[in-house]
Amino acid sequence: LIQSFLNGHNILLLAYGVTNAGKTYTISGSKKNPGIIRRSLEVIFDIQMSDQYKYSIEMSYYEIHKKNLNDLLLYPNDKRVPLKIECEDKTVNIRNLQRIRIDSVEAALDIIALGEANRKVGNTKLNNKSSRSHAVLVLRLTAKPRNVPKEENPAKRCSKLCIIDLAGSERASRTEAVGDRLKEASNINTSLFILGKCIEVYVQNNSNVIPWRESDLTRICQEYFVGNGKAAMIVNVSPTMRDSEETLNVLRFSANAKEI
């Protein structure tokens, strides 16, 4: 997938599973056991050093929390500006979202650490540091041939890598959520349900309209299912018996997604 990203394809990677199944660890990892993000960055910067193209890479990091999009790369005193999803010609852009130029793995990880510190987490009965939002990391790459004179106006190649750490699916009766936590859980479950519905209709490949526009999450995902896009899903399965019912739903969801 990373090679496809460098070759000009738009790539989507989703981590899906119940609360506390290891999604965030799979994506972010630790210093001792790097996750998908660090491993991907290392491959990208290793390849670009020896490739015939010169790369420019920009990073954005935001979350979908309830019905809001929040830029995760803002400091406490930075001005908050509302983010808005804009779709044009099957391409999605987030208005007012920061794009930060990165030139090394370590610089990127420092920026990501800021974003992870800003992400909404909360205490539930099932997880005392439960992610209460979908976290979306986007790398935008522009590639230009290294040894072609400027006067020849060489064609540049643009692509996006989008890694989404989905909030965990959960039943309110199990988490004993109330108030704001209950609203968060409701929004999380609704967006995951719509994602599943979009995938189901997409797999069926019939004349039904795919309901991408029914949630912010699916609006963001849509562009990776058209044109030169590629999508993959990592399914995190909880080994505990208490999660068996939700885990079965996760497996049904992933079996459907596998047909794409």
Residues forming the annotated binding site for ATP? Answer: 17-24
Q: Would you say 24 and 161 are in contact if contact means Cβ atoms under 8 Å apart?
A: no
Structure tokens at 3: 């090679």
Spatial distance between the Cα atoms of 10 and 160, rounded to a whole number of angstroms: 5
Q: Which long-range contacts (CB under 8 A, 24 or more apart) does 104-107 make?
A: 104/45, 105/38, 105/41, 105/42, 105/45
Q: Residue 25 — left, alpha, or beta (φ > 0 → left; ψ -120 to 50 → alpha)?
A: alpha
3-state secondary structure of 231: strand
Strand partners, 145: 53
Give the C-alpha distances (Å, rounded to integers) separating 152 from 56, 142, 222: 20, 18, 35
Strand partners, 93: 86
Q: Dihedrals φ, ψ of 12, to 5°?
A: -120, 130
3-state secondary structure of 120: coil
Spatial distance between the Cα atoms of 170 and 180, rounded to a whole number of angstroms: 15
Binding site residues, as ranges? 17-24
